[in-house]
Structure 1
Amino acid sequence: MPRTARAACIRARVATYSGTVSRPLRDVPPRAEDLLDALGPALDGAGPAVRVATATGWDHAAAVAVDDDVALAVATSGSTGEPRTALLTASALRASGRATERRLAGPGRWLLVLPVEHVAGLQVLVRSVLAGTRPVVALGTPFTATRFAAAVADLRTGTPAGTPTYTSLVPTQLVRVLDDEAATDAARTLDAVLLGGAAAPAPLLERARAAGVRVVTTYGMTETCGGCVYDGVPLDGVRVRLDASGRVLLGGDVLTAGYLGRPDLDPFVTLDGSRWLRTNDLGRLDDGVLSVLGRADDVVVTGGVNVAPAAVEAALAAAPGVAEALVVGVPDETWGQAVGALVVPTDPAAPPTLADLRAHVTAALGPAHAPQHLVVVGALPLRGPGKPDRRAAAALVVDHVSSPAPHAGPTTTSGSTA
């Protein structure tokens, strides 16, 4: 966008979010009951807009009012860098909720096991308000299969016959559910388990579906009111396209109005007269079905070859002895970057070796994609609502590269190869 046009756009957005704001923005503690009481009035316009107060608090010197149509201010996960607060309108949240109901089995009752500080957990509450139901809340750290099974039992007991039941999980939670027989039996009774927050390995999805768990993969972000593409297919009212570089563009009636106090941030483009969110994700469209290939800034350039971590992670997840995998790039004097992998083994006493994993990935994707460094861990580093923490993962790999001897402890080892 030319500088003059961008300046005009920023001035317009400043006017929108600074000069004509009139609706108060209320901080609500991150408790489900408090949020449920506040969300109804926020959605129907009878009360102030809502944002979740965090442990570190908000900058109360910033804007304390928003546009009349904004219902919810939600902090992003920070996966694209500096966290920001997206402004979600009541109409966008309603469009998202109603489209979800149409894609699933209709309005239902929800189980909340995701933190309400992020959009996935908040959407469980929003969908409950729209459906006129009260969710079962089973928050707690760490997430346990036992607590999940008990919460599903409560959900089933208190739900009228014929009312669908749902929950939203991240992949790490689903792994724990499937590792427990009682939790798997409980999950099987739900009409849908939305799975998002991070890429779901194909073996995990196959395992869940083989167990009879009705998993629906979701793709979206805070700026799209959460998941807006289910099992690769856009929800009603959502549009998907790719730009010339392969980045995913999302359009439709679920888009954020902008960012609180940041009129300088403008991730939108106008194409064919429509507003589109330009994401940082690379994708592929096959007959209208979207496959997300990973983040553009996560691509590892090693020896002049572009390596998509998501592809390597999928290959590693299919290797014998691997429960979960996370792939990052680390500095390398010879190759520019080297491919590093964190792996959670299925059997901590017999973790896969670097040589075996290199052979497996080479056969699937070619030698340039094979990991050059391996760190075996008990659990992947996560942040926010269960997203992989690639910065922490890269730091672990760099630490092991600089300390060739394996770290003490039964669950963490490392190795490297040229």
Structure 2
Amino acid sequence: MSVTPSDAALLRLLRSLLPQELEGLGGRAIGPARAAAWQADLSLGAEGLALDSLELVACASAVNEFFRLHESGVEDYLLAERRLDAWCRIIRAGIEDGASGITFRTSGSSGTPRRCAHAHVTLAAEVAHWAQVFRDRRRIIQLIPAHHIYGYLFTILLPDALGVEVVDGRALSPGRLARLLQGDDLLVGFPGGWLPLLRSLDRLPQGIRATSSTAPLPAATHQALREGGAAQVVEVYGSSETAGLAARTDPQAPFTLLPRWRPGHAGDAASVIEVATGGEMALPDRCEWLGGAALRLLGRKDDAVQVGGINVYPARIAAQLAAHPLVAEAAVRLDAMLPEPRLKAFVTLRAPRNRAGDRVALEAWCRDHLSAAERPVSIELGDHLPRNALGKLADWAACGAQPPAH
């Protein structure tokens, strides 16, 4: 397959990448519905997006970084042009003149965002695999941004490989989306978005298939999708650094490596080896190999958990809570029993005289100082942190800790 995305795919990518860049500058919030209406001849100047000089430079820089246009020397042309279709032509020329690949950025949830470069040929080879898996699909319904690696693979490259239309479902009301869905569609979404979607729709059309990535898919969400009508749900395991690594269609089953990879080390040193080059890539999770290309994940190496597709670090958040003047000790865990897992906290107070008021104060502090993904959705108060018989911190729901104090 061609490594150069079609004009339609490049326009779809710009509709995703540019709004993020403009929002990051602090001046604009352009939602998916508005961006989806951008036509190829949309001006970047006064009669269209009305980018000022700083916004234009920032957007051009983002496009240059993403497509590595500096490698072919065409990046300066972005500042000379003022239409989206002209930028698409420049991107295409850059790829055809030797730009080596795509640069994605990590979310930055574990520190400064990192750049992750992937060769065009490598991404194309992965998409050739997915094109075989989903060769019966006639349309893709996009429920994720296109400029992250999962979105790029499944809403930019895969539609071109299959020769199918893409509909940005984020730009539609639930009613319009329900009327539009068909049984031969492929829904491309993420764990935190499935239950809100199912609540908005009576039922998915018979035969529809779905992919989910960016975070672990809770078994309850997988079951809800199947009960809601999905014929198959493919959970994709990967990262910005690795692209796709493995997949499964049963939440109780191990993952199976994609053809690009073979097993490496297990346990804390878990890794995979690229078949074509022999290069070894560390996995973000501990794992065990079960024979052949099957692996079972055993949790993050860095003790991160994922909330809404974002890595968060319970120990760090517990330390922040413990530094609060009201708090003596704190423990933070992922509440995996929720339909969409969120953090929960258990706190002991320095002077527990007004527990109800102290809880309100701590909840307000969390809203002011923690991001949405980091904020515990429940704070339990007690005299001692819950521990097991060996004295190790334990899950308060699992070890009979006292209920929340009121």
TM-score (structure 1 length as normaliser): 0.53
Query: Do 1:241 and 1:250's aligned partners in 2 also have CA atoms closer than 8 Å?
Result: yes
In 2: Cα distance, 1:245 partner to 1:354 partner: 27
Query: Do 1:115 and 1:139's aligned partners in 2 also have CA atoms closer than 8 Å?
Result: no
In 2: Cα distance, 1:292 partner to 1:416 partner: 33
SS in 1 for 2:216: coil
Q: CA deviation at 1:202?
A: 1.5
The one of 55, 67, 70 equivalent to 1:65 is 70
SS in 2 for 1:101: helix
Query: Do 2:345 and 2:378's aligned partners in 1 also have CA atoms closer than 8 Å?
Result: no
The one of 217, 235, 241 equivalent to 1:217 is 235
Aligned equivalent of 2:204: 185
The one of 273, 276, 279 equivalent to 1:275 is 279
- The answer as to 2:156 corresponding to 1:125 is yes
Q: Which has the higher strand share?
A: 1
The one of 21, 25, 36 equivalent to 2:10 is 36
Per-residue deviation, residues 355-382 of structure 1 (Å, max 9, x unmatched): 9xxxxxxxxxxxxxxxxx9xxx9xxx9x
* Paired residues for 1:1-400 under 5 Å: 35-36=9-10, 52-53=17-18, 54-55=21-22, 56=25, 57=58, 60=61, 64-66=69-71, 68=98, 70-105=100-135, 108-123=138-153, 124-140=155-171, 145-153=174-182, 164-182=184-202, 184-186=203-205, 188-190=206-208, 192-213=209-230, 214-225=232-243, 227-231=244-248, 232-243=255-266, 245-249=268-272, 251-252=274-275, 274-287=278-291, 288-298=293-303, 328-329=314-315, 330-331=318-319, 338-341=331-334, 392=371, 396-397=375-376
In 1: Cα distance, 2:158 partner to 2:279 partner: 25
Q: CA deviation at 1:87?
A: 2.4
SS in 1 for 2:287: strand
SS in 2 for 1:117: coil
In 1: Cα distance, 2:194 partner to 2:284 partner: 26
Query: Do 2:268 and 2:301's aligned partners in 1 also have CA atoms closer than 8 Å?
Result: no
Query: Do 2:261 and 2:272's aligned partners in 1 also have CA atoms closer than 8 Å?
Result: no
Which consecutive residues of structure 2, in runs of 5 or more, have no partner in the other structure?
26-57, 73-97, 249-254, 347-358, 385-406
Query: Do 2:263 and 2:273's aligned partners in 1 also have CA atoms closer than 8 Å?
Result: yes
Larger RCO, structure (CA 8 Å, separation 6 or more): 1
Query: Do 2:191 and 2:217's aligned partners in 1 also have CA atoms closer than 8 Å?
Result: yes
Query: Do 1:36 and 1:125's aligned partners in 2 also have CA atoms closer than 8 Å?
Result: yes
In 2: Cα distance, 1:275 partner to 1:228 partner: 14
Q: How has the CA–CA distance of structure 1 residues 394 and 102 changed in structure 2, closer, same or farther, with 3 Å as cutoff?
A: closer
SS in 2 for 1:209: helix
Q: What amino acid is aligned across from residue 375 of structure 2 in structure 1?
A: L
Matched residue count: 274
In 2: Cα distance, 1:196 partner to 1:130 partner: 20
Aligned equivalent of 1:416: 381
Q: How has the CA–CA distance of structure 1 residues 233 and 65 changed in structure 2, closer, same or farther, with 3 Å as cutoff?
A: same
Q: CA deviation at 1:98?
A: 0.8
In 2: Cα distance, 1:133 partner to 1:218 partner: 21
Query: Do 2:289 and 2:295's aligned partners in 1 also have CA atoms closer than 8 Å?
Result: yes
Q: CA deviation at 1:340?
A: 3.4
Asked which structure has the greater CA Rg, the reply is: 2
Per-residue deviation, residues 263-308 of structure 1 (Å, max 9, x unmatched): xxxxxxxxxx711222322223323322333322226xxxxxxxxx
Q: How has the CA–CA distance of structure 1 residues 298 and 392 changed in structure 2, closer, same or farther, with 3 Å as cutoff?
A: farther
Q: What amino acid is aligned across from residue 160 of structure 2 in structure 1?
A: V
Per-residue deviation, residues 367-410 of structure 1 (Å, max 9, x unmatched): xxxxxx9xxx9xxx9xxxxxxxxx6368534xxxxxxxxxxxxx
TM-score (structure 2 length as normaliser): 0.54
Q: What amino acid is aligned across from residue 161 of structure 2 in structure 1?
A: L
- Percent identity reads 17
In 2: Cα distance, 1:354 partner to 1:71 partner: 43
Q: How has the CA–CA distance of structure 1 residues 290 and 137 changed in structure 2, closer, same or farther, with 3 Å as cutoff?
A: same
Q: CA deviation at 1:73?
A: 2.7
Q: What amino acid is aligned across from residue 289 of structure 1 in structure 2?
A: A
In 1: Cα distance, 2:120 partner to 2:131 partner: 16
Query: Do 2:288 and 2:295's aligned partners in 1 also have CA atoms closer than 8 Å?
Result: yes
Q: CA deviation at 1:413?
A: 5.2
Q: CA deviation at 1:199?
A: 0.9
